[in-house]
Amino acid sequence: MKNKILIVGGYGAVGSIIADNLSKKFPNQIIIAGRNLSKAKKTADKLHHKVSPYQLDINNITDFSIINDVQMVIMCLDQTNTDFVEYCISKNINYIDISAQYKTLKSIENLKSLAIENKSTVVLSVGLAPGITNLLAKYATTELQNTTSIDIFVLLGLGEKHGEAAYKWTFNNIDSQYQLSENGKNKIMKSFTKPIQTELLGKRSFYLFDFSDQHVLLNTLQIPKVETRMAFDVKWFTNLTSILRKLKITKLFKNEKIQNLAIKSFHNFTLGTDLYAVKIIAKNNSGNIKELSINGNNEGKITAIVATEIAMIVLNNDLPHEVFHSHQIVKDIPLFLNNLKQYDSGFQLKI
């Protein structure tokens, strides 16, 4: 009987929380896997051996036997290709991915036919942004008739410690260009430009940033205009970054040596807090506005909590076999978001 849940990257900051949450509901059915077996074993020790450690390199798999008893895979690592995803789908395994990179999500979206053929349910956009941002945006469109634009504001705390991949993703996207289709026309957007000032845990400026949610929502909600902006909790740091962007100095952030030095500094010194917040402002042509927001502490934790609840939906419901984003499978969005409080009483929701 296929009843195991495989968490790839299950000993990382996010994966270990997912493993802890799910092991309480499915003891001895959780497998935490990654290239470092020692770290997997240490995490298993911390979780009192309710989970099983396993060594797995998704880019170099020679033994696929671990997949035989798996009903669901939760991917907590960034991937360079879709080989492992395709293998999971071909084996009729449900798949959840917490990746924030649109390139990755787009490549998995293209596996729709394979998922249908092999009766596999795949869910993407799972976390804070994308994830909760998608859900709030979708709910806003149900509350505001004929929505014509959605502005998404993401506030991230500089004091939270992340994995190396998360830091590098942020550095690479501070100085980047990306394309959005708005009102039927393709537009080139430049990250950390065109600030909008709004109230979110204080009044601050938010700058364009290439979060995947805006791409996905433009394609799935049929809203003419969706833009996502970002700010850090330390206002002067956000302002400094925007100045460096204007001076074209942020190009240096893509240098690997500079990135490694900056990541080391973030790990060794604390700047800011671990708070996070999201705000959605939806508008229509009649001048009506709908605002929604959430906030809390520890972005990694809320990502893990969202992944846990999405996993429960997939496990407990007979969903269609296809590739979805989280806002396409959550039927009662306020209920889903309120359910997150059972894991974290500090999670605040204003809808």
Q: List phi, psi (to 5°) of 47.
A: -95, 20
For 149-195, what is each residue's pLDDT tens digit?
A: 999 999 999 988 777 778 888 888 899 999 998 877 899 999 999 99
Torsion of CA 170, 172, 174, 179, to 10 degrees: -110
Superfamily of domain 4-127+301-344 in CATH is NAD(P)-binding Rossmann-like Domain (3.40.50.720)
- The confidence score (pLDDT) of residue 263 equals 75
Residue 272's region, left for phi above 0, alpha for psi from -120 to 50, else beta, is left
* Domain chopping of the chain, boundaries: 4-127+301-344, 128-299
Gap between the Cα atoms of 288 and 44, Å rounded: 51
| Cα 52 to chain centroid, rounded | 25
- The confidence score (pLDDT) of residue 227 equals 97
- The confidence score (pLDDT) of residue 59 equals 86
For 221-269, what is each residue's pLDDT tens digit?
A: 989 999 999 999 999 999 999 999 999 998 888 888 888 887 788 778 8
- The confidence score (pLDDT) of residue 166 equals 80
Gap between the Cα atoms of 54 and 65, Å rounded: 12
The residue count for the chain: 351
Q: Which residues of the chain have pLDDT under 50?
A: none
| Cα 329 to chain centroid, rounded | 16
Superfamily of domain 128-299 in CATH is Dihydrodipicolinate Reductase; domain 2 (3.30.360.10)
